[in-house]
Protein backbone atom coordinates (compact mmCIF):
# COMPACT_ATOMS: atom_id res chain seq x y z
CA UNK A 1 0.00 0.00 0.00
CA UNK A 2 1.34 3.41 -1.01
CA UNK A 3 0.62 6.72 0.69
CA UNK A 4 -0.19 9.88 -1.23
CA UNK A 5 1.52 12.00 1.40
CA UNK A 6 3.56 11.52 4.60
CA UNK A 7 3.08 13.52 7.79
CA UNK A 8 5.58 13.81 10.62
CA UNK A 9 3.56 13.89 13.85
CA UNK A 10 4.22 14.33 17.55
CA UNK A 11 2.51 12.36 20.28
CA UNK A 12 0.56 14.66 22.59
CA UNK A 13 -0.26 14.24 26.23
CA UNK A 14 -2.35 17.32 26.93
CA UNK A 15 -6.09 16.96 26.41
CA UNK A 16 -9.06 19.26 26.57
CA UNK A 17 -9.57 22.77 25.25
CA UNK A 18 -6.58 24.23 27.09
CA UNK A 19 -4.14 21.77 25.56
CA UNK A 20 -5.65 22.26 22.11
CA UNK A 21 -5.36 26.05 22.34
CA UNK A 22 -1.70 25.74 23.34
CA UNK A 23 -1.01 23.55 20.31
CA UNK A 24 -2.69 26.02 17.97
CA UNK A 25 -0.59 28.85 19.36
CA UNK A 26 2.45 26.79 18.33
CA UNK A 27 1.01 26.38 14.78
CA UNK A 28 0.11 22.75 15.42
CA UNK A 29 -3.19 20.96 14.83
CA UNK A 30 -4.52 18.45 17.38
CA UNK A 31 -5.36 15.14 15.72
CA UNK A 32 -7.15 11.99 16.83
CA UNK A 33 -6.40 8.77 14.93
CA UNK A 34 -9.11 6.18 15.47
CA UNK A 35 -7.52 2.76 15.87
CA UNK A 36 -8.48 0.08 13.35
CA UNK A 37 -8.64 -2.31 16.32
CA UNK A 38 -11.64 -1.02 18.27
CA UNK A 39 -10.36 -2.76 21.39
CA UNK A 40 -7.34 -0.44 21.47
CA UNK A 41 -7.24 3.22 22.42
CA UNK A 42 -7.26 5.95 19.82
CA UNK A 43 -4.02 7.84 19.16
CA UNK A 44 -3.67 11.52 20.02
CA UNK A 45 -1.17 13.44 17.91
CA UNK A 46 -0.36 16.89 16.61
CA UNK A 47 0.56 17.86 13.06
CA UNK A 48 2.08 20.93 11.50
CA UNK A 49 -0.74 23.32 10.61
CA UNK A 50 1.17 24.41 7.50
CA UNK A 51 1.57 20.86 6.18
CA UNK A 52 -1.98 19.64 6.79
CA UNK A 53 -3.45 22.88 5.40
CA UNK A 54 -1.37 22.56 2.22
CA UNK A 55 -2.63 19.02 1.60
CA UNK A 56 -6.22 19.89 2.50
CA UNK A 57 -6.29 22.78 0.02
CA UNK A 58 -4.98 20.60 -2.79
CA UNK A 59 -8.34 18.85 -2.87
CA UNK A 60 -9.38 15.22 -2.60
CA UNK A 61 -8.02 15.13 0.94
CA UNK A 62 -10.59 12.65 2.26
CA UNK A 63 -9.78 10.05 -0.37
CA UNK A 64 -6.00 10.06 0.14
CA UNK A 65 -4.12 7.45 2.13
CA UNK A 66 -1.50 9.18 4.29
CA UNK A 67 1.50 7.83 6.15
CA UNK A 68 1.84 9.13 9.69
CA UNK A 69 5.33 9.00 11.20
CA UNK A 70 5.65 9.36 14.95
CA UNK A 71 8.53 8.41 17.28
CA UNK A 72 10.31 6.46 14.57
CA UNK A 73 7.26 4.36 13.69
CA UNK A 74 4.76 4.84 10.91
CA UNK A 75 1.24 3.70 10.03
CA UNK A 76 -1.32 4.35 7.32
CA UNK A 77 -4.45 6.41 7.86
CA UNK A 78 -7.34 7.99 5.99
CA UNK A 79 -8.53 11.53 6.80
CA UNK A 80 -12.04 11.39 8.23
CA UNK A 81 -12.96 14.92 9.30
CA UNK A 82 -11.58 18.46 9.47
CA UNK A 83 -12.88 21.17 11.80
CA UNK A 84 -12.35 24.75 10.64
CA UNK A 85 -12.46 27.99 12.64
CA UNK A 86 -15.82 29.65 11.80
CA UNK A 87 -14.20 33.02 11.03
CA UNK A 88 -10.63 32.41 9.88
CA UNK A 89 -11.14 28.96 8.25
CA UNK A 90 -7.92 27.77 9.91
CA UNK A 91 -7.84 24.05 10.63
CA UNK A 92 -8.52 23.57 14.35
CA UNK A 93 -8.80 19.79 14.60
CA UNK A 94 -8.55 16.70 12.41
CA UNK A 95 -9.69 13.08 12.68
CA UNK A 96 -8.07 10.15 10.90
CA UNK A 97 -8.86 6.43 10.71
CA UNK A 98 -5.98 3.95 10.87
CA UNK A 99 -6.09 1.51 7.93
CA UNK A 100 -4.25 -1.44 6.47
CA UNK A 101 -4.42 -3.38 3.22
CA UNK A 102 -7.42 -5.40 4.43
CA UNK A 103 -9.53 -2.39 5.40
CA UNK A 104 -12.77 -1.61 3.59
CA UNK A 105 -13.12 2.16 3.40
CA UNK A 106 -16.01 4.51 2.75
CA UNK A 107 -14.60 7.44 0.81
CA UNK A 108 -15.91 10.47 -1.08
CA UNK A 109 -14.44 10.71 -4.57
CA UNK A 110 -14.81 13.83 -6.76
CA UNK A 111 -16.64 13.65 -10.09
CA UNK A 112 -14.97 15.13 -13.17
CA UNK A 113 -16.59 15.71 -16.54
CA UNK A 114 -14.60 15.61 -19.74
CA UNK A 115 -15.32 16.63 -23.34
CA UNK A 116 -17.77 19.34 -22.31
CA UNK A 117 -16.65 21.33 -25.36
CA UNK A 118 -17.65 18.41 -27.62
CA UNK A 119 -20.88 17.49 -25.84
CA UNK A 120 -23.82 17.54 -28.28
CA UNK A 121 -26.32 18.74 -25.69
CA UNK A 122 -24.13 21.57 -24.45
CA UNK A 123 -23.33 22.69 -28.01
CA UNK A 124 -27.08 22.90 -28.64
CA UNK A 125 -27.43 25.32 -25.73
CA UNK A 126 -28.07 22.88 -22.92
CA UNK A 127 -26.75 23.30 -19.38
CA UNK A 128 -24.84 20.73 -17.33
CA UNK A 129 -26.68 20.34 -14.03
CA UNK A 130 -24.37 18.58 -11.56
CA UNK A 131 -26.38 16.76 -8.91
CA UNK A 132 -23.39 15.19 -7.15
CA UNK A 133 -19.94 16.75 -7.13
CA UNK A 134 -18.74 13.76 -5.07
CA UNK A 135 -19.76 10.10 -4.90
CA UNK A 136 -19.36 7.91 -1.83
CA UNK A 137 -17.71 4.56 -2.53
CA UNK A 138 -16.70 1.41 -0.67
CA UNK A 139 -13.23 0.17 -1.58
CA UNK A 140 -9.91 -1.05 -0.26
CA UNK A 141 -7.00 1.37 0.31
CA UNK A 142 -5.21 0.02 -2.77
CA UNK A 143 -7.91 0.97 -5.27
CA UNK A 144 -9.25 4.37 -4.18
CA UNK A 145 -10.08 6.23 -7.41
CA UNK A 146 -8.69 9.75 -7.57
CA UNK A 147 -11.86 10.80 -9.39
CA UNK A 148 -14.79 9.42 -11.33
CA UNK A 149 -14.44 10.60 -14.92
CA UNK A 150 -17.60 10.96 -17.00
CA UNK A 151 -17.33 11.49 -20.76
CA UNK A 152 -20.09 13.81 -22.02
CA UNK A 153 -19.26 13.65 -25.72
CA UNK A 154 -22.36 11.61 -26.68
CA UNK A 155 -24.86 13.17 -24.28
CA UNK A 156 -27.74 15.31 -25.51
CA UNK A 157 -30.33 17.62 -23.98
CA UNK A 158 -32.63 15.63 -21.70
CA UNK A 159 -30.03 12.99 -20.80
CA UNK A 160 -29.49 11.92 -17.22
CA UNK A 161 -26.20 10.38 -16.11
CA UNK A 162 -26.60 7.74 -13.41
CA UNK A 163 -24.06 5.81 -11.38
CA UNK A 164 -24.75 2.77 -13.59
CA UNK A 165 -23.21 4.68 -16.51
CA UNK A 166 -19.87 4.92 -14.67
CA UNK A 167 -17.35 2.08 -14.98
CA UNK A 168 -15.90 1.56 -11.50
CA UNK A 169 -12.56 -0.18 -10.86
CA UNK A 170 -12.73 -3.80 -9.76
CA UNK A 171 -13.48 -4.05 -6.04
CA UNK A 172 -15.09 -0.60 -5.89
CA UNK A 173 -18.83 -0.21 -5.32
CA UNK A 174 -21.18 2.69 -4.57
CA UNK A 175 -22.06 3.28 -0.94
CA UNK A 176 -25.68 3.74 -2.07
CA UNK A 177 -26.83 0.43 -3.53
CA UNK A 178 -30.60 0.76 -3.20
CA UNK A 179 -31.08 2.91 -6.32
CA UNK A 180 -29.41 4.00 -9.54
CA UNK A 181 -28.84 7.56 -8.37
CA UNK A 182 -28.34 10.54 -10.67
CA UNK A 183 -24.96 12.26 -10.91
CA UNK A 184 -25.81 14.90 -13.50
CA UNK A 185 -28.31 15.91 -16.16
CA UNK A 186 -28.18 18.03 -19.28
CA UNK A 187 -31.06 20.45 -19.08
CA UNK A 188 -32.36 22.49 -21.99
CA UNK A 189 -33.71 25.98 -22.34
CA UNK A 190 -37.29 24.78 -22.83
CA UNK A 191 -39.50 24.93 -25.87
CA UNK A 192 -39.40 23.10 -29.17
CA UNK A 193 -35.63 22.81 -29.32
CA UNK A 194 -35.61 20.54 -26.26
CA UNK A 195 -38.34 18.36 -27.74
CA UNK A 196 -36.44 18.00 -31.00
CA UNK A 197 -33.24 17.05 -29.15
CA UNK A 198 -35.07 14.52 -26.98
CA UNK A 199 -36.67 12.96 -30.06
CA UNK A 200 -33.30 12.71 -31.82
CA UNK A 201 -31.55 11.06 -28.89
CA UNK A 202 -33.58 8.97 -26.40
CA UNK A 203 -32.94 10.00 -22.79
CA UNK A 204 -30.76 7.68 -20.72
CA UNK A 205 -32.36 6.19 -17.62
Domain layout of the chain by residue ranges = 5-99, 105-200
98 in Cβ contact with 76 (< 8 Å): yes
Q: Are 151 and 185 in contact (CB under 8 A)?
A: no
The CATH superfamily holding the domain 105-200 is Ribosomal protein L25, C-terminal domain (2.170.120.20)
What pLDDT, on the 0 to 100 scale, is given for residue 39? Answer: 66
Calpha distance 157→96 (Å, rounded): 42
Sheet containing strand 127-130, edge to edge, reads 127-130, 182-187, 160-162
Fold classification of 5-99 (topology level): Ribosomal Protein L25; Chain P (2.40.240)
Q: What pTM was computed for the model?
A: 0.76
Q: Could you write out the DSSP letters of every residue in 155-188?
A: --TT-EEEGGGS-PPTT-EES--SS--EEEEEE-
Full pLDDT tens readout for the chain, 205 residues: 788 899 999 998 756 677 888 899 999 999 999 987 776 789 999 999 999 999 999 988 999 999 999 999 999 999 999 999 999 999 999 999 999 989 999 999 999 999 999 999 999 999 999 999 999 999 999 899 989 999 999 999 999 999 999 999 999 999 999 999 999 999 987 644 444 444 544 444 4
Q: Are 31 and 96 in contact (CB under 8 A)?
A: yes
pLDDT at 190: 64
Q: With the CA atoms of 55, 61, 67 and 71 taken in that order, what torsion angle do they form, in degrees rounded to the nearest 10?
A: 60
Amino acid sequence: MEAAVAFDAQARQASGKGGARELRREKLVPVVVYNKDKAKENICLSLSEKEITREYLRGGFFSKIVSVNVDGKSFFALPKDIQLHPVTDRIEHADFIQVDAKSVLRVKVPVRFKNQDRCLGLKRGGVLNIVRHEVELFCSPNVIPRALEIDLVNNNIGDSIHISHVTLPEGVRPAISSRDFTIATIAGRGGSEDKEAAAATPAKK
